[in-house]
Amino acid sequence: MTSSPVKAQAAGTDGRAALKQFTRALGVAIVLLVIWRVTTVGLAEGYPVSFWISQALNGLVLGGVYALVALGYTLVYGILFMINFAHGEVMMIGGITGFFALQFAQARGWMEGPWPVVVVALLLIMFVGMAASVVIGVTLERLAYRPLRQAPRLVPLISAIGASLFLQYSVLLIFGVSPHSYRKPALISGGLRLGDVFIPYTGAIIFVTSILLMLALFFIIQRTKLGRAMRAVAEDRSTASLMGVDVNAVIVVTFMLGSALAGAAGVMLGFHNTVVKFNSGFIPGLKAFTAAVLGGIGNIPGAMFGALILGLIEAIGPSALGIPTEYKDVIAFTLLVLILIFRPTGLFGEVLSEKKA
């Protein structure tokens, strides 16, 4: 209590600098505290190396899923400067559609066929899930966001939250409250055993596929005409339009790309965790948003690395800090708060021009 008037006085005389110093000192203190805790717990528990590898692999799989969803947040933010809070639900729609596609394939016995048939069927299922997500994503843009494009920034955000609830409860009413269970085909059940480390096939597939999809996205944005148009719109919408870029088309394509990635994530998460229901997109959506902010929202490599870092921290954090695993969400969201306090532009900063901000 005694220190607060002193602090207030300091803030009064030389407010900004003092505050900056204070937050910096606080940041250093927090980092030191975490390092100290990790070291003491690590020494006390004495987990084997294979344990940390297993946890890191769990984290990378989680991170791969977050990355695919986070890219959708970041792409849309980069172009429209709005946060599409219904993006988690777009992913859930992919997962639910994938479930019905899988049932269709199972009814025809494709899942028991020779392995090329199964692989093709799995790719088809993923494609169907992605297509459904794309349809929902584009519809959302057309109905919920485009009419509000000239409105103040907060308005489309609120519209997005409404859309999120609408999608959740529509799925609840149409497909029921009970969870739907994916039946994994034998080909991707089980996993690889390397000593004391176990890698589930679905986990490996998620990680590899998410990397491939991210590379494809990177190629589209950096190497194609379409990507150039997207970058132009992100830079300055009205100038791009004057240069002959069809802004509406670019925005629709952006939603399509983001939704397709989310749909793929939804289907793969369905195979990995085997359960989807109406609200399965909510928490992963929030986590992916956290990941996007962590990396610097609007920044594409930032979203990828932010997601992988978040996944790793969630998987390793509870063991490393010696706290119960139920606090993994607390760790994730605490990280979000700390990032917003100490580095509001995210770890990788915003690469986009100052003009839009």
Partner 1 sequence: MAKRLAIVSLFLVAALMLAACAAAPPAAEAPAEEAPMEEAAADMSGKVVIASGSMIRIGGSFALTGPIPDPGLNIRHGAELAVDDLNAMGGLEGFMFELVAEDGACDGTQGTNVGNKFAADETIVAVTGGTCSGETFGLVPILQEARIPFVSPSATNPDITSADCDVCNRVALSDALQGATDAAFVVSDLGITTVAVVHDNSDYGKGLAEIFQNNVMEMGGEVTGFEGVQVGDTDFRALLAKVGADGPQAIFFGGYSTEAGLIAQQMTETPGLEETAFMSVDGAYTKQYLEAAGDASEGTYISFVAGADSEEMNAEFDAKYMEKYGVSPDDLGPFHSQSYDSVKLLAAAIAAVASVDDSGNLVIDREELISAIRSVDAFEGLTGTIKCDSMGECGAGGVQIFQVMDGDFSQVSGFGME
> What does the binding site for partner 1 look like in residue numbers (CB under 8 A)?
47-48, 50-51, 54-55, 58-59, 62, 81, 83, 85, 153-154, 157, 161, 172, 176-179, 181, 183-184, 190-191, 193, 196-198, 200, 269, 272-275, 279-280, 282-283, 286, 289-290, 293, 297, 314-316, 318-319, 324-326, 328-329, 333, 336-337, 340, 344-345, 350, 357
Longest dimension (CA), the chain: 76
| Distance of closest approach, residue 326 Cβ to partner 1, in angstroms | 4
- The secondary structure element, H or E, covering residue 148 is none
| Distance of closest approach, residue 189 Cβ to partner 1, in angstroms | 8
Neighbours of 210 (CB within 10 A): 27
Spatial distance between the Cα atoms of 255 and 87, rounded to a whole number of angstroms: 10
State which residue, 200 or 263, has the beta carbon closest to partner 1.
200
State which residue, 16 or 326, has the beta carbon closest to partner 1.
326
| Distance of closest approach, residue 339 Cβ to partner 1, in angstroms | 9
Spatial distance between the Cα atoms of 296 and 135, rounded to a whole number of angstroms: 28
Give whole-number Cα distances, 219 to 99, 131, 212, in Å: 30, 20, 11
Bridge partners (DSSP) listed for residue 198: 193
What are the backbone dihedrals phi and psi of residue 57, each rounded to the nearest 5 degrees, phi first?
Answer: -65, -45
Closest CA to 61 of 211, 243, 168: 211
State which residue, 61 or 214, has the beta carbon closest to partner 1.
61
| Distance of closest approach, residue 72 Cβ to partner 1, in angstroms | 15
State which residue, 109 or 179, has the beta carbon closest to partner 1.
179
State which residue, 6 or 43, has the beta carbon closest to partner 1.
43
- CB neighbour list of residue 290: distance below 8 Å, 6 or more residues apart: 310, 332, 333, 335, 336
CB contact at 8 A, 326 and 311: no
Bridge partners (DSSP) listed for residue 192: 199
Closest CA to 91 of 264, 320, 337: 264
State which residue, 166 or 218, has the beta carbon closest to partner 1.
166
| Distance of closest approach, residue 3 Cβ to partner 1, in angstroms | 26
State which residue, 59 or 258, has the beta carbon closest to partner 1.
59
| Distance of closest approach, residue 336 Cβ to partner 1, in angstroms | 7
| Distance of closest approach, residue 4 Cβ to partner 1, in angstroms | 23
Neighbours of 37 (CB within 10 A): 14
